[in-house]
Chains A and B, each alone.
Chain A
Amino acid sequence: MRKFADVVILMQPSSNYTMLFPKTIDWEQFISYRPDVPFSDEVIDFLNALSGAILKDRQSRMFPDAITFAFFCRKANVLKFKKQYTDETLRLGRGILFHIAPSNVPINFGYTLVAGLMAGNANIVRVSSKQFAQVDLIIKHIYALLETGEYNEVAIRIALVRYDRMSDANAYFSSICNVRVIWGGDATISTIRKNDIPARSFDVCFADRYSIAAINSKAVMGASEADMKELAENFYNDTYLFDQNACSAPHTVFWMNDPELEAAKEKFWNAVYELADKRYQLQPVMSVDKLTAFYRQAACMDVKAEQMPDNVVVRTEVKEVPKNIEDFRCACGYFSEHTINNLDEISPLVNIKYQTLGYFGFDKSVLETFVRTNRFQGLDRIVPIGETTAFALTWDGYNLIDTFTRIPSVL
């Protein structure tokens, strides 16, 4: 029976957006999509073809993030996910997903789309209004593949749109979605939420988060030159690659105490500095920001500036970490450091805002115990340094396949 609450008055489609794919669209037809089971063969084949097309394109070599995305979409990888995320339970997608991709992480739109496809849904993706070459590249390949007519079953599940913040398009897309997936900061989320969604629909929000790292000094001292190079590279990718402004980028680094602590820090930061100095484009405003952040922190807590050659890497030693340490973050290569004797010392700080803990030199079992005993509200991801930005189908504590599907029960 159709309940009154389920009757949604559709907003009129606004014309304030640009269609990136398909060229033109009949929204009524798009909405009539029937959800599919997760990881259908059509979707897997399409993703594999997309992966191949991106990897074959010579242009892709300039974009490590596009390459990573392509590997994520490979058949072998997707089949692995299928095994991991599905069982005998009958599942179907939720229907129409409306994704709002973040404006500053280029490839994210691709991951959120792919997660929606894998779960068996049709997807409207609002792509960042900023132009990124790697975004154009991926869209070009999606376009080319779907134009062939070989993947019509997938083509009807994708609508890529672009519009700026002044557009009223949010209202329409919100009114027709079953799940609204909002990537972006707290301000973005509250703006988007001003638009109603149907009563049975819900939001999945990826809000502003704070991330940290834990490094075992002993492991650093034991690391070979090659290991250190790799660690530095990994740490660089976790931080500088996205201006230390991705929510998964660590801002405070906790060092496990050791007689050789100081030597370990030096060894680590020298390696990071060497890389960042070569690769990172430090702009004048970033230097001023970091200096301001340092004095701001100094005014509010006991800190000491750590000696570094210049402003590329700025570090402060915090004697006692205050509960609101996340308010003192600064992007573009600014790190607070604190020495601990036991991982549990981090525990009083962790609140719901904490997302990722990147680690080096700890056993997985120790970290599992750390989570179990401390029963955090936050800290959704505990991953080796180098993998903090790696997209996974479990993100921010959500199992995305679970979240984007429903379980029709047949008894």
Chain B
Amino acid sequence: MLNERLHKLTRKHYENCEPYRRMMDARGLDINNLPVYEKLPFLPVRLFKEFELRSCQKEEVVKTLTSSGTTGQQVSRIYLDRATSSSQQKCLTKIVSYFLGTKRVPMLILDSSAVIKNRNMFSARGAGILGFSMFGSKRQYALDENMELDIEGMKMFLEEHKGETIFMFGFTFMVWQHFYKKLLERGYKPELSKGVLIHGGGWKKLVTEKVSPEEYKKCLNDVCGILPENVHDYYGMVEQTGCVYMECKCGHLHTSAFSDVLIRRHKDFSLADIGEKGLVEVVSVLPESYPGHILLTEDEGIIFGEDDCPCGLKGKYFKIEGRIKNAEIRGCSDTYAAKF
């Protein structure tokens, strides 16, 4: 079924996105005789920073997502038409409801309200918050515009929703830096024993601070009572919004019915074995308006198994090891090395 859908998408993008067609032709892909999806060409995500890759008419674009990207870097541009945007939402709902239930619940956003003030340009952070906001019946920001704890606001909000499940959302490092650390500092202990936290954005900065996922969960439990099994990391990217990979209670990320993850060896791009580290390829059935259904990320990861995670969730379960290292290369050109 995944094959059929991915073939359909490949053909659609081939017909509607000229750069994609040129790329596939150069690769020698026989569009009338597509192989299984594991053998379909994967586009490096960086291409979305360099080219306008779009498979719909300009007029049909309802949203343009951009990646956060550090200063000075180019950002990815992802063009969404109505259909793709809506299926992204549906997909996210489906995946998240497993962890949150199908009913909307009060939502505590562990970020500042300033992030989404400018709605015209969707930053990855703003888009994430907005995307997940649909699961909240009522919303409260934990941080004020200056990234300081809004203790009064939280107190009132939690008082009002005593005993209810509280959906908490934020970015992994922000949660640590501006929620956990500040709570510790201020000595305020919000009652969030019925909280469910979904966080994403990567561990890079926390690895530097030597915080493990287990410690992260335990520390949060200490300051607000949230149960470690209700803290869920997710892996996702702006190039495949909606198709997130959620962390189960065993600490593994899972593929969903809408997605797949393949690990490739960098030497020849062959598929790695279970347990073997390699480059992460992400597959999603959602992208209709841009050719982002099969992508090679710049992350490394390991697949642990398929359909047999002790948590009971089906699908492949895996771990992200982090971004690939920039090479220290020789030679006199400026291309890579930052000099002077």
Instruction: Find residues 208-260 in chain A having any chain B CB closer than 8 Å to their own CB.
Output: 208, 241-247, 249
- Say how far A255's CB is from chain B's closest CB, in angstroms: 19
Q: State whether the Cβ of A379 lies closer than 8 Å to any Cβ in chain B.
A: no
Selected from A184, A241, A282, A285, the residue in CB contact (under 8 A) with B332 is: A184
**Is B334's CB under 8 angstroms from A243's CB?**
no
Given A185-B334, A288-B44, A309-B268: A192 touches B329 (CB 8 Å cut-off) = no
Q: Give A284 to B28 CA distance when docked, in angstroms.
A: 24
Q: State whether the Cβ of A5 lies closer than 8 Å to any Cβ in chain B.
A: no
Q: State whether the Cβ of B1 lies closer than 8 Å to any Cβ in chain A.
A: no
**Is A165's CB under 8 angstroms from B26's CB?**
no
Closest B residue, CB atoms, query A100: B340
Q: State whether the Cβ of A178 lies closer than 8 Å to any Cβ in chain B.
A: no
Q: State whether the Cβ of A102 lies closer than 8 Å to any Cβ in chain B.
A: yes
Instruction: Find residues 89-122 in chain A having any chain B CB closer than 8 Å to their own CB.
Output: 102-106, 108
Q: State whether the Cβ of B279 lies closer than 8 Å to any Cβ in chain A.
A: yes
Selected from B44, B268, B331, the residue in CB contact (under 8 A) with A292 is: B44
**Is B336's CB under 8 angstroms from A284's CB?**
no
Selected from B50, B267, B296, B326, the residue in CB contact (under 8 A) with A312 is: B267
**Is B333's CB under 8 angstroms from A282's CB?**
no
**Is A311's CB under 8 angstroms from B25's CB?**
no
Q: A280-295, CB under 8 A of B: which get 1 and which 0?
A: 0011111110011011
Given A299-B19, A309-B268: A332 touches B43 (CB 8 Å cut-off) = no
**Is B327's CB under 8 angstroms from A165's CB?**
no
Q: Give A287 to B340 CA distance when docked, in angstroms.
A: 27
**Is A105's CB under 8 angstroms from B268's CB?**
no
Selected from B23, B28, B267, B336, the residue in CB contact (under 8 A) with A287 is: B267
**Is B47's CB under 8 angstroms from A292's CB?**
yes
Q: Give A241 to B331 CA distance when docked, in angstroms.
A: 9
- Say how far A135's CB is from chain B's closest CB, in angstroms: 13
Q: State whether the Cβ of A138 lies closer than 8 Å to any Cβ in chain B.
A: no
Q: State whether the Cβ of B46 lies closer than 8 Å to any Cβ in chain A.
A: yes
**Is B334's CB under 8 angstroms from A184's CB?**
yes
**Is A288's CB under 8 angstroms from B268's CB?**
no
**Is A288's CB under 8 angstroms from B332's CB?**
no
Closest B residue, CB atoms, query A330: B335
Q: Give A187 to B335 CA distance when docked, in angstroms.
A: 10
**Is B339's CB under 8 angstroms from A188's CB?**
yes
- Say how far B198's CB is from chain A's closest CB, in angstroms: 29
Given A295-B43, A298-B23: A243 touches B28 (CB 8 Å cut-off) = no
Q: State whether the Cβ of B51 lies closer than 8 Å to any Cβ in chain A.
A: yes
B interface bracket (residues with beta carbon within 8 Å of A)? 35 or more
**Is B339's CB under 8 angstroms from A105's CB?**
no
Q: State whether the Cβ of B247 lies closer than 8 Å to any Cβ in chain A.
A: no
Q: Is the interface of B mostly helix, strand, loop or mixed?
A: loop
- Say how far A303's CB is from chain B's closest CB, in angstroms: 5
Q: State whether the Cβ of A140 lies closer than 8 Å to any Cβ in chain B.
A: no
**Is B329's CB under 8 angstroms from A331's CB?**
yes
A interface bracket (residues with beta carbon within 8 Å of B)? 35 or more
**Is A246's CB under 8 angstroms from B23's CB?**
no
Q: B327 contacts which chain A residues (CB < 8 A)?
A: 243, 283, 285-286, 332
Q: B14-47, CB under 8 A of A: which get 1 and which 0?
A: 0000010011011110000000000000011011
Selected from A246, A294, A311, the residue in CB contact (under 8 A) with B267 is: A311
Q: B324 contacts which chain A residues (CB < 8 A)?
A: 283-285, 288
Q: A108 contacts which chain B residues (CB < 8 A)?
A: 332
Given A288-B266, A292-B47, A296-B47: A105 touches B332 (CB 8 Å cut-off) = yes
Q: Give A295 to B300 CA distance when docked, in angstroms.
A: 21
Q: Give A296 to B267 CA distance when docked, in angstroms.
A: 20
Selected from B28, B46, B268, B339, the residue in CB contact (under 8 A) with A310 is: B268
Q: State whether the Cβ of B330 lies closer than 8 Å to any Cβ in chain A.
A: yes
Q: State whether the Cβ of B58 lies closer than 8 Å to any Cβ in chain A.
A: no
Q: State whether the Cβ of B215 lies closer than 8 Å to any Cβ in chain A.
A: no
Selected from B268, B330, B332, the residue in CB contact (under 8 A) with A311 is: B268
Q: State whether the Cβ of B117 lies closer than 8 Å to any Cβ in chain A.
A: no
**Is A245's CB under 8 angstroms from B266's CB?**
no
Q: State whether the Cβ of B4 lies closer than 8 Å to any Cβ in chain A.
A: no
Instruction: Find residues 40-95 in chain B having any chain A CB closer than 8 Å to their own CB.
Output: 43-44, 46-47, 50-51
Selected from A286, A291, A309, the residue in CB contact (under 8 A) with B44 is: A291
Q: Give A389 to B296 CA distance when docked, in angstroms.
A: 35
**Is A186's CB under 8 angstroms from B334's CB?**
yes
30 contacts between A and B (CB under 8 A): A104-B329, A104-B331, A106-B330, A165-B338, A184-B334, A185-B335, A185-B339, A187-B339, A208-B333, A242-B330, A243-B331, A245-B329, A246-B331, A282-B266, A283-B327, A285-B324, A287-B266, A288-B324, A292-B44, A292-B47, A295-B43, A295-B47, A297-B26, A298-B26, A299-B47, A304-B28, A310-B267, A310-B269, A311-B267, A331-B335
> Which residues of B are in contact with A by a Cβ distance under 8 Å?
19, 22-23, 25-28, 43-44, 46-47, 50-51, 266-269, 279, 296, 298, 300, 324-327, 329-340
> Which residues of A are in contact with B by a Cβ distance under 8 Å?
102-106, 108, 165, 183-188, 191-192, 206, 208, 241-247, 249, 282-288, 291-292, 294-299, 302-305, 309-312, 316, 329, 331-332
In order of increasing CB-CB distance, the 8 nearest A-B pairs are: A245-B331, A185-B334, A310-B268, A298-B26, A284-B266, A243-B329, A165-B340, A299-B19
Supplied contacts A102-B339, A245-B336, A305-B27, 11 more A-B pairs, CB within 8 Å: A103-B339, A104-B331, A105-B331, A206-B332, A243-B327, A284-B266, A286-B266, A286-B327, A287-B279, A288-B298, A296-B51
